[in-house]
A and B are shown apart, each in its own frame.
Chain A
């Protein structure tokens, strides 16, 4: 009898362990612990929290009129930079990877040189170089100089991801495609890249998230992105922590949206088995 009851409890415990309720409880406990640590930390800081001040920098109602605050404009700008940056850096990354894998010695050298140069110098320096040295020559706008520097930087990393993905495809796929008479372009387009993309989506997502966060650096050439707007608000109000936390949370929103989109893509592209 005693054995039976202990078995029964074990069963119940196992079921509980696997249940969603248990997961939620664990999650809440972790959140509670983090909140407590934060609360203790900020108390000791002796900082005068004024969260009530923050909303008006996001949006406000005045005379029944709804309007966005400066942080939302910054967010929109960061969105624009990110969107352009993603398209450009992925294109640069793919083209560079293809050049590195091409038969042409010259193309390989150029691609290799670009990747090494960009990866081994700081992004900040690249942004300054592009904005102060190259932009006046080519007549680039502030915005485009920033986007271009960011794309060149992230593109170098993306190219290595693309290259790894492409060479990971079994050479039998190339041979089958070539023996059917498909040329190199069609082989890449229809056979190699569709398979490679599926494999590199996770690291590519990490790269995209890096791009979003690194986009904060364009604020150094006075592009009014989220970081720049945040800094401007802080200069005005001295709400240092409130604004920075809000800004960080807004970045988090962008990256989470990105993750959801990628998740959706991953499910769509999954090879059926």
Chain B
């Protein structure tokens, strides 16, 4: 992949803490900054706070302290800001979470129509473009339950893209998929990265990390243990914990 130019910082996270009501501490003084067009892959053992971090970024979980600023908008008590951020940040879930009572097309057009106030035709046209982009235009009138897991996840990606987000987050987007279907979803994600989308990807797919990411962050217990380029991780990890983790998953 040729060198790409990263932009200014779009996501700024400073010293956020998050403890769940059951006492589990998911994020401790967690700080990071992410540039426009950067692809950040977050890895780490389960329970290390990776998913919680993503969920905090679009306000699905509330942080206890610290600050999150996305594209100049602070995520704070102000509800308006939170909705504004959710519009700008797309999220793809491990379990797809498509709306089962709506067709693929309706899944994609719903938010643009209601939130971005697009007309039906305009939204449908854009949705078809997105479906072509994720290679399943023929499924527009199908219902989610009629699709394979890989197809459903691609629809979920298209649905998130339909809001024209500035940042895309993937929360273990391929973990629930059959091995054969992982590739088709990763391909879509790769294309997206090549188009210059800012992406935060929680994944166990090291191939993806190596090929696409600008930076890999290794988390444990709510901390960043180590971060650097994928190259650095695979050839020369510094910390013992990182080495151990990588040796187990590679």
Contact = CB atoms under 8 A, between A and B. Distances in A.
B70 to A, nearest CB: 13
Nearest to A185: B114
A178 B110 CA distance: 12
A175 B97 contact: yes
B146 interface: yes
A175 B86 CA distance: 11
B110 A180 contact: yes
A180 B101 CA distance: 17
A174 to B, nearest CB: 9
Given A190-B110, A272-B146, A273-B143, A181 B163 contact: yes
Contacts of A176: 91, 93, 97-99, 156
B60 A179 contact: yes
Contact of B93 (A172, A191, A195): A172
Interface in B86-135: 86-87, 89-91, 93, 95, 97-101, 110-111, 114-115
Interface string A163-191: 00000001011011111111100100011
B154 interface: no
Interface in A259-273: 271-273
B101 to A, nearest CB: 5
A176 B114 CA distance: 14
A273 B93 contact: no
Contacts of A190: 99, 110, 114
User: How many interface residues does chain A have, given as a range?
Assistant: 20 to 34
A253 to B, nearest CB: 33
A8 to B, nearest CB: 43
Given A181-B83, A271-B101, A175 B115 contact: no
A272 B89 contact: no
B91 A179 contact: yes
A108 interface: no
B114 A186 contact: yes
Given A175-B93, A176-B93, A182 B111 contact: yes
Nearest to B159: A180
B160 interface: yes
Given A179-B60, A179-B89, A271-B145, 17 more contacts: A175-B55, A175-B60, A175-B91, A175-B93, A175-B97, A176-B98, A179-B90, A180-B110, A180-B163, A181-B86, A181-B87, A181-B115, A194-B101, A271-B143, A272-B143, A272-B145, A273-B146
Interface of A: 170, 172-173, 175-183, 186, 190-191, 194-195, 198, 271-273
8 contacts: A173-B99, A178-B60, A179-B91, A181-B87, A181-B111, A182-B111, A186-B114, A195-B99
